[in-house]
Chains A and B, each alone.
Chain A
């Protein structure tokens, strides 16, 4: 609900968009699909800047990279034939799992990335796939737009690079990624996940990342000890690898808080999901 919204803008250039966003006398916000901004309560927001006219909703698979415009909807990501192959399975699964079909038709890649909340499926998928972000900033001193590319923020404080920026595109390398998988679970088919674990084989390494609802602020975790174990298992997997993986995941996932579910419940859920995701990578379980 908007209590003070007086201006709806739909700029056609990135520069115009950034100028509107940094209006000195008004509180303004980027509006993409609206599945977050339009749902929350806003007392002071006076201006929304709709990015649908910027032409940043294209999805291309080209020269060993996937390039996904920030305005691309989750539905288009889920349906794109170029993303149906095993290397991008985690990304497709994350897009398909979010909320309901109507929301997937509206919610955008950019919106999901800019929202810093632990109940998200996309961050673990983007982290294990080695995504990069192309951002636009408005340089006031030089009165011009500057573009930068950063690694997907997976470390404490790394999200500061997104402050005041307009996300233009997500770039995901395809070459060098053999397979990926994502397992998540919520209370119902349309609820936000209580835990999400994504895994990928990139080169000779297995990457493992998790997001836990109700977790600490920097909830996206790269599970490095489990990564090291699982990477060693690429050449030879011991018979009891599931038990070892379970112990490693349980040690790395924090049992924190009692929001939505107890911390212990989420940790055990994340542990089970992690083992199942690894089983998909190792060909012992099927992709959903």
Chain B
């Protein structure tokens, strides 16, 4: 089947099977920053923004995303021009192996877009669905708080 959606500010028309999940279709189309993880919506590695809200792409059928706007980690920042959230993750050494990092950055972006000055409690709530196998769960909270402070007044 053919699905039409908007991905990273670009209208696309992609082929997919009815049973395929969004993670697979994104990755097949070159957006490999979205990671495969638990495939049950529990670990956060596959997080994307769907219409501006964080969504677990591993349990969203690609067909369900038709007609919607998807933002993946590729459009948040680049190696040459990282986003303030990504810079804060680096500055705070909130990255170990890096597998869970795209999902955490997506979660942070979705949070800060809606709430530019989140409390630590809110940051923890939004990162709670992101599992880091390297057990780095403290520094990402500090990084998101630092990024939010640094971005104040931007939006």
A187 CB, nearest partner CB in chain B, Å: 13
Residue numbers in A under 8 Å from B125 (CB-CB): 101, 189
Residues of A within 8 A of B (CB-CB), count = 25
Residue numbers in A under 8 Å from B40 (CB-CB): 39
- Are B42 and A35 within 8 A (Cβ)? no
Complex formed: what's the CA distance from A2 to B42 in Å?
19
Task: Decide: A52 near B41, CB < 8 A? Known: A6-B18, A102-B56.
Answer: no
Give the interface segment out of B58-66, B90-98, B140-148. Answer: B58-66
- Chain B interface size, under 10 / 10 to 19 / 20 to 34 / 35 or more: 20 to 34
Pick the contact of B18 from A5, A35, A100, A102 — CB < 8 Å? A5
| CB of B70 within 8 Å of the partner chain | no
Pick the contact of B53 from A8, A75, A100 — CB < 8 Å? A75
- Are A106 and B60 within 8 A (Cβ)? yes
- Are B129 and A102 within 8 A (Cβ)? yes
| CB of A50 within 8 Å of the partner chain | yes
| CB of B138 within 8 Å of the partner chain | no
B57-89 contact mask (Cβ, 8 Å, vs A): 1 or 0: 001110110100000000000000000000000
Task: Decide: A48 near B18, CB < 8 A? Known: A31-B64, A34-B59, A102-B41.
Answer: yes
| CB of A228 within 8 Å of the partner chain | no
B15 CB, nearest partner CB in chain A, Å: 13
- Are A101 and B129 within 8 A (Cβ)? yes
A31 CB, nearest partner CB in chain B, Å: 7
Residue numbers in A under 8 Å from B47 (CB-CB): 102
Residue numbers in B under 8 Å from A158 (CB-CB): none
- Are A34 and B64 within 8 A (Cβ)? yes
- Are A5 and B19 within 8 A (Cβ)? yes
Pick the contact of A105 from B42, B53, B61 — CB < 8 Å? B53
Complex formed: what's the CA distance from A145 to B42 in Å?
38
- Are A103 and B61 within 8 A (Cβ)? no
| CB of A38 within 8 Å of the partner chain | yes
Closest to A103 in B: B41
A1-48 with Cβ < 8 A to chain B:
1-2, 5-8, 10, 31, 34-35, 38-39, 48
Residue numbers in A under 8 Å from B41 (CB-CB): 35, 39, 99-100, 102-103, 106
A-B contact pairs, 18 of them (CB 8 A): A1-B39, A2-B19, A5-B19, A7-B18, A34-B59, A34-B61, A39-B59, A48-B18, A100-B128, A100-B130, A101-B107, A101-B125, A101-B126, A101-B129, A105-B53, A106-B59, A106-B60, A190-B129
Residues of A with Cβ closer than 8 Å to B? 1-2, 5-8, 10, 31, 34-35, 38-39, 48, 50, 52, 75, 99-103, 105-106, 189-190
